[in-house]
A = this chain, B = another copy of it.
Amino acid sequence: MKGTSMAPTDKFIAENTFRVRYAETDAMGVVHHASHIVYFEAGRSHYARVRGHDYAQFERSGYFLLVAEIHARYAKAAVYDQLITVRCWIDEMKSRSVTFGYEIVDAESRETLVTGTSKHICIEKSGKVVPIPMEWRAWGQE
């Protein structure tokens, strides 16, 4: 499975490409594993933006997506200055929760570096769990 793309073929996939920063590496000489969790986040921010409803606007509307669960599998290390692409899609959309899927690949070779998912619960400012607004929910049907 190492290095094999797990990305779906029937879903919209947003791709966000950027370079690894030095601060994101650690003493092992490679990207620290928590940095990839931040890359996932950059990937889903980008997903929302290219789908037409950015997450900043979502929060300004009074909604938040709480992170309920994170899973990441590391196949190959990334290094400083490497050009990487975060591929992000909707893995599962429910009325009150959404799961994003991710694949981080080398931007040039397309080799898989990390795969993962993140599950989020939709809440209001008060903390109450609420249905995800319809324009976002439509993404799950593609």
**Interface size of A in residues (CB-CB distance below 8 Å):** 39
Residues on the B chain within 8 Å of A64, using CB: 28
Known: A19-B45, A38-B34, A42-B21. A27 touches B69 (CB 8 A): no
- Is residue A56 contacting chain B, with contact meaning CB distance below 8 A? yes
Known: A23-B38, A71-B70. A56 touches B81 (CB 8 A): yes
A residues 7-27 in Cβ contact with B at 8 Å:
18-19, 21-23, 25-27
Interface residues, chain A, CB within 8 Å of chain B?
18-19, 21-23, 25-30, 32-35, 37-38, 41-42, 45, 49, 54-56, 59, 64, 66-74, 77, 79-81
Report whether B74 and A72 are in contact in the complex, using a CB–CB cutoff of 8 Å: no
Copies in the complex: 4
Residues on the B chain within 8 Å of A73, using CB: 68-69
CA distance A38 to B24 in the complex (A): 9
Residues on the B chain within 8 Å of A35, using CB: 34
- 8 Å CB contact of A29 from B19, B27, B45, B55: B27
CA distance A13 to B70 in the complex (A): 23
Report whether A81 and B21 are in contact in the complex, using a CB–CB cutoff of 8 Å: no
| Most B CB within 10 A of own CB, among A18, A21, A41, A67 | A67
